[in-house]
Structure 1
């Protein structure tokens, strides 16, 4: 009855999201009426622009006239006489409904195998006999239209408005959107909403009824689809998008159930913030420092931030899309002040200890470091697009170990034969501005204008990392400097008389040609050194994600990726 009401969109329910299609097109759906009315003014209102002093208490979203509530019934709920007794089931009774019409008329309706009819029951007296006059209808809408003129009028208007909506406004969104700018509205009595809230749907999956989905196999299978032709790439992208959308929705439902206490934990004897859960083939953990792993980095504050860093790392490696390298399906949900991390399950990981499963990286923050040729080969392909420097770290025996990622990145071989990488929070280099402690000398270096606004501010953790956009902008800037220096150096060689003489006599003296080639190489080497390239023959900037990490020692003889 409230399909045109934006309440569900504001509350983030049933896949509904706010849409302004009709607002900006003024109802025009491509029939040429927009040209008759003129162009639509899409400029923002003045009160949201900078410099406005008088800001009215109005919602930031556009207000549409068709969002006015159009109510057909006051109450429609399940009757307290449900379920039908055995003798009434033999007569075909399926369920009983309570209805309060807009005319304040209470109705008790029987739903049977023959249709819908009004019975003679009251709140405290059960009488299944049909009311007088008798009226048996094949649909509930037909019965309500006969007994309530307001329902008949408003329901027809509701259907008309719903048909006029654009399909984009009626299709549920794949990723649910939540808005924090929802205006204050009237809380209308709705028995259906109350029943749906208290109805348990745990263990149910709308997409595959009767069984749980293997999310990991679906995600990895979608990524392994062929992508040689355009049609294959389109099919692969659709499959990945659909599976990720379903996983995000299932992870959201599971996270809400975990926080509400509707899922039994795997370790019920632990403290609530240390518990872990499995629901619908999804592993759930909370954003707390479980085993004091993040104590050198800030404790719970670092663990809370590590979830988002890990999610960004998964997105980065998924965008590189290296064949044969697999990441876990990951979702981060914040609900009721608790951060929940949802991940797919690596096949066979729960059957053995994780410390025994790690064949690459470190599980104890540098005490024991492993490397594996298969992971080195795959991760080495990601170093160039992700700008990661291949490097060596020292383990507890001071033995150098080759890594092509951050030391926190773990490599696990699943029972399905696939190599998985997880804990990708060190994908981008750390922000060194957040690694130092605020001392008196540091405060004196900050301008007084910044000190008035509370700077320098102390960071709650040491996991702050540089954004990928900043890295791309920095590399682009250094590349422009590199090109400028090389061009300037080559022009100076051409203007040099000795260089002209060598060019003229190059056909006769091969040693002069070699000399000119060495000078050009020298120009390139100087430019590479000036911009910080990891090689001296071409422009190539990489970053070590383990730099300035506490407790980690990097070897001075780094293996550079060519």
Structure 2
């Protein structure tokens, strides 16, 4: 990681770069602040492999950089890239996974590409999942998690029996539901997203392979959720609003002018 000075009208600023074997105090403090903010933004802390083979801890996307201002405060550059990438515009080919090869399609619904034409390439890499979209996706996942817990408990004696203190069946049901929905925590429901996934020229450690695969799956599911559920719900809600609110108002206005509507017109002088 480099620290370079950039001049400004207010003085000098220390720009916090990306790569270095050690972690200077100012970068450590910045990471602590980012760790606090990452929880509210549903971002996952992760590490990428640098050019020299060392791992660099991050909470933002690789493209984002920190700035230690002359006022002593920290700033982030290119904050928009810290949001997870929209997998609809990140087509990926065949990757290596252990000794086998796998096609990166885990997380896409069946026949998704044939019906939507996605994923496909886009001229730039600024297609990101906004926080509002992520929160809607997380709420949907939480509903799935609750249903899966109940289903698993019903399969093993019922919710009341499995919910008793010390009953391992309840714990097993929660763990299984976490795995089913893709929770990053295997004992509680928790959704976090790695903003460096799908970024070009980013390498992860081999020991993080399963975690990265889960992140790719989650971001594909979130991208498909926009197309298959959020946009149709928006259109349906708009049509419902028109039919239930706007249309009666328009009808009422038309009924107030029966002469005009019937074509009789309005007599002159009135």
Q: Which residue in 2 is equivalent to 1:541?
A: 191
Structure 1: runs of 5 or more not aligned? 1-344, 351-356, 439-443, 504-512
1:394 Cα deviation from its structure 2 partner: 0.8
CA distance in 1, matches of 2:138, 2:69: 36
Count of residues in correspondence between the two structures: 181
Write 1 or 2 for the structure with the bigger share of helix. 2
Q: Which residue in 1 is equivalent to 2:42?
A: 387
TM-score norm. by structure 1 comes to 0.29
Q: CA RMSD in A?
A: 3.5
The equivalent position to 1:552 in structure 2, one of 180, 196, 202, is 202
- Return closer, same or farther for 1:347/1:527 CA change in 2, 3 Å cut-off: farther
- Return closer, same or farther for 1:380/1:346 CA change in 2, 3 Å cut-off: farther
CA distance in 1, matches of 2:152, 2:37: 33
1:493 Cα deviation from its structure 2 partner: 4.0
- Kindly indicate whether structure 1 or structure 2 has the higher relative contact order, using CA contacts under 8 Å at least 6 residues apart: 2
Q: Which residue in 1 is equivalent to 2:133?
A: 470
3-state DSSP of counterpart to 2:81: coil
- Contact residue 390 and residue 544 of structure 1 kept, 8 A: yes
- Return closer, same or farther for 1:416/1:446 CA change in 2, 3 Å cut-off: closer
- Contact residue 392 and residue 557 of structure 1 kept, 8 A: no
- Return closer, same or farther for 1:457/1:523 CA change in 2, 3 Å cut-off: closer
- Return closer, same or farther for 1:482/1:407 CA change in 2, 3 Å cut-off: same
Q: Which residue in 1 is equivalent to 2:124?
A: 461
- 1:230-379 to structure 2, matched below 5 A, reads 347-349=10-12, 357-359=14-16, 361-362=17-18, 372-379=27-34
- Return closer, same or farther for 1:408/1:457 CA change in 2, 3 Å cut-off: closer
- Return closer, same or farther for 1:545/1:420 CA change in 2, 3 Å cut-off: same
- Contact residue 368 and residue 396 of structure 1 kept, 8 A: no
TM-score norm. by structure 2 comes to 0.57
1:466 Cα deviation from its structure 2 partner: 1.7
CA distance in 2, matches of 1:554, 1:376: 19
Q: Which residue in 2 is equivalent to 1:163?
A: none
Q: Specify the structure having the higher radius of gyration (Cα).
A: 1
Q: Which residue in 2 is equivalent to 1:190?
A: none
Q: Which residue in 2 is equivalent to 1:427?
A: 82
CA distance in 2, matches of 1:437, 1:495: 43
Structure 2: runs of 5 or more not aligned? 1-7, 94-110, 212-270
- Return closer, same or farther for 1:473/1:375 CA change in 2, 3 Å cut-off: same
1:273-292 per-position Cα deviation (integer Å, ceiling 9, x unaligned): xxxxxxxxxxxxxxxxxxxx
3-state DSSP of counterpart to 1:426: helix
For the pair 1:485 / 2:140, whether they are aligned, the reply is no
- Return closer, same or farther for 1:417/1:456 CA change in 2, 3 Å cut-off: closer
3-state DSSP of counterpart to 1:553: coil
1:536 Cα deviation from its structure 2 partner: 0.8
CA distance in 1, matches of 2:119, 2:155: 46
1:472 Cα deviation from its structure 2 partner: 1.4
